[in-house]
Structure 1
Amino acid sequence: MIQMARDSNNDLPHFINAAFDIVAIAASAGSLTALTKLLSTLPTEFTAAIAIVQHLGPQHRSFMAEILARRTTLNVKQAQEGDYLTPGTVYIAPPNRHLLANGDGTLSLSQSKLVHFLRPSADLLFESVAATYKDRAIALVLTGTGSDGAMGVEAIKKMGGTVIVQNIETAEFSGMPSAAIQTGKVDFILPLDEISTTLVTLVMGNVEIK
């Protein structure tokens, strides 16, 4: 059973035994390897939800959820309208849909206009997560080209959240990590191999990864 507590200031449910409720991830070129490495080393009992925007071609069905599900003990699914964010579950934005977090703990999909020629947009995901989860949100920027996620990183920090960026030395494509770092709003710049351990420490405390 999922244990939740209510925020005294609103009706947003928070996950018990978690310092953060959500990890929002931006990923693009080269991200299959990075996401596989990250998710495969997170424990089954990870106590935050994970939402991922990966840049995909809009004209084809995505098999990303199926591929990643075979490589992690976490639950992985392509996000659907109205999904309730659940600890230990990974939600992947479908092609050609923006992924947004709502104030009642659910997810929405949108076909609103492209942001910097992109749909889904990591900036929109991060901004919605910042507005909803404030200091209980983590934004993570992984390998990718372009600058998507940089504006969202600033929103996360403005609302008291935490920002992690993959370092450019281990990123297959450095555009997105570099743009995020250049905002000056990043808390951790880490090699890929250290990100899962840091997430577990932040979200769950000093829990050994199995």
Structure 2
Amino acid sequence: MLQGRQFEAAVIGASAGAVSALLEILPGLPPDVPVPVVVVVHMLRGRSSQLADLFASRLDVRVVEAEDKQDVAPGAVYFAPADYHLSVENDATFSLSNEPLHIFSRPAIDFAMQSAADAYGPALVGILLTGASHDGAEGLAAIGAAGGLTVVQDPQQAQSPVMPGAALKLRQPDLILPLKDIRALLAMLKS
């Protein structure tokens, strides 16, 4: 599935159970990860996100909270900030907005995945992990429709199987994997 494919970015979405799932897969990233890794996690409204700080101390790669108009550059993991939708523009910069909630969420995984699919097309990897809503299913389907590689965490191994299950009902992904294999896949990405 990866043989000979070149990628420009990866987008990961998760909700309930996200931190433990991400702690299992992100430490597999090499310090010089050749693509930007964009992570969108649902969080309680009215709270600031501590995800970038939490993961910066646990990963060998640069970890930052995404900012408006920031370049989406290789060699970093970008976390969506609290209470903003995160999009990737066609010029490979981030855009933040406070549009209405999408499926009770802001940031919404669908926003990030659909915009990244538009920006990167077949050079994008989309990964949907554990979660208790169906946000992310349409975004992952958009990545697949654009020719990108789509990956869903095995729902039987997800802390909350609703989100990966919703993705499976909407469109068959390229891969359905346990977290250990998603970690290995991320470590093999090439630009």
Alignment TM class, shorter chain as reference:
over 0.9
Segments of 5+ residues of structure 2 without an aligned counterpart are none
Which structure's relative contact order is higher, taking Cα pairs within 8 Å and 6+ residues apart?
2
Residue 189 of structure 1 is matched in structure 2 by 176
AA partner of residue 72 (structure 1): L
Contact 2:28 2:187 in 1 (8 A): no
Question: Aligned-pair distance for 1:169?
Answer: 2.5
TM-score (norm 1): 0.85
Q: Given the alignment of the two structures, is residue 81 of structure 1 paired with residue 72 of structure 2, yes or no?
A: no
Segments of 5+ residues of structure 1 without an aligned counterpart are 1-17, 206-210
> Residue 103 of structure 2: which of 116, 119, 133 is its match?
116
**Radius of gyration: which is bigger?**
1
CA distance in 1, matches of 2:21, 2:154: 12
Question: Aligned-pair distance for 1:170?
Answer: 2.0
CA distance in 2, matches of 1:142, 1:71: 19
SS at match of 1:129: helix
CA distance in 2, matches of 1:48, 1:120: 22
What does 1:29-108 align with in structure 2 at a 5 Å threshold? 29-108=16-95
RMSD of aligned alpha carbons = 1.3
Residue 140 of structure 1 is matched in structure 2 by 127
CA distance in 2, matches of 1:142, 1:102: 23
CA distance in 2, matches of 1:87, 1:185: 28
CA distance in 2, matches of 1:170, 1:42: 21
Contact 1:39 1:74 in 2 (8 A): no
Over the matched positions of the two proteins, sequence identity in percent amounts to: 35
Contact 2:152 2:175 in 1 (8 A): yes
Q: Given the alignment of the two structures, is residue 19 of structure 1 paired with residue 6 of structure 2, yes or no?
A: yes
> Residue 148 of structure 2: which of 155, 161, 164 is its match?
161
